[in-house]
């Protein structure tokens, strides 16, 4: 007889969630957001550094929200009084329920403190940009180029995913200076209600089915912290989807 044992839930996940619960119970919303920053900083650093440690053009590809979270199946979620079961994660994010259209409500992301995830990759650009962008440096402080710098911000995950301008945004982060406005914002509160991370995999809270696994487990940790943010603070975008 074969015996199939469920893999144990990593202690790292349970320890992070235990401390997130302490912050939640005390209503420390900023502490929860800072915990996300603490968790994601090593992932951010890994993608900033990779192009300098790898062979040319082997620095990796962009961390795109639609694929890197690893939720690859249809997601059943409650939208108002309806339950919709035939949308992918990307389709939900671009739906009327999640996509924020009022640009006046878009947040300003500080490159020195907020989690913005660029992936520099070009061997010439990484060497041309380093050390020259910033206050009192040859090219001056980082300034957003709205024709080149594209970032998708997902609330309450508190992550800005870079879709363009990877190299100069990366240098702004390295210099610890500058800010930018995302060109797209998703309020994924509805999806966080619909999907949970158990320390290893994503599961539908509606059907119980496994939906995939994130590229980095830290994405799942942040997802569950985002659930706790929702329990403490209503979404600032709730009335901004029109």
Q: Please, which residues have CB within 8 angstroms of residue 200's CB and are 6 or more apart in sequence?
A: 7, 9, 10, 213, 217
Give the separation between CA 170 and CA 40, rounded to whole angstroms: 15
Q: pLDDT tens digits, residue range 87-118? A: 999 999 999 999 999 999 999 999 999 999 99
Strand-pairing partners, residue 210, are: 203
Residue 159: pLDDT above 60? Answer: yes
Q: pLDDT tens digits, residue range 1-20? A: 444 456 788 899 999 999 99
CB 147 within 8 A of CB 188: no
**Treating both helix axes as pointing N-terminal to C-terminal, what angle do 29-53 and 11-25 enclose, rounded to 10 degrees?**
140
Check residue 151 and give its pLDDT. 98
Check residue 242 and give its pLDDT. 42
What pTM, to 2 d.p., does this model score? 0.93
- Dihedral (Cα; 19, 22, 28, 34), 10-degree rounding: 0
Convert 194-218 to b/e letters by CB count within 10 Å (16 or more is b): bbbbebbbbbbeeeeeebebbebbb
- Under the banding of pLDDT at 50, 70 and 90, the label for residue 58 is confident
């Amino acid at each position: 007889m074969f015996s199939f044992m469920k893999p144990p839930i990593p202690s790292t996940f349970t320890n992070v969630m235990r401390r997130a619960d302490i912050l939640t119970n005390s209503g420390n919303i900023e502490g929860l957001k800072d915990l996300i920053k603490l968790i994601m900083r090593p992932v951010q650093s890994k993608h900033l550094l990779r192009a300098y440690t790898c062979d040319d053009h082997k620095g990796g590809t962009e961390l795109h929200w639609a694929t890197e979270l690893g939720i690859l199946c249809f997601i059943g979620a409650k939208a108002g009084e309806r339950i919709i079961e035939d949308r992918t994660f990307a389709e939900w994010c671009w739906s009327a329920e999640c996509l924020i259209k009022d640009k006046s409500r878009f947040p300003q992301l500080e490159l020195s403190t907020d989690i913005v995830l660029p992936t520099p990759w070009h061997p010439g650009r990484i060497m041309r940009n380093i050390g020259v962008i910033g206050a009192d440096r040859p090219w001056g402080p980082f300034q957003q180029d709205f024709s080149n710098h594209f970032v998708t911000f997902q609330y309450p995950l508190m992550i800005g995913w870079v879709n363009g301008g990877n190299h100069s945004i990366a240098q702004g982060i390295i210099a610890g200076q500058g800010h930018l406005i995302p060109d797209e914002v998703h309020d994924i509160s509805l999806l966080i209600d619909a999907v949970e991370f158990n320390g290893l995999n994503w599961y539908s809270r509606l059907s119980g089915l496994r939906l995939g696994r994130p590229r980095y487990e830290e994405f799942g940790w942040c997802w569950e912290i985002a659930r706790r943010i929702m329990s403490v603070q209503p979404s600032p975008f709730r009335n901004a989807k029109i």
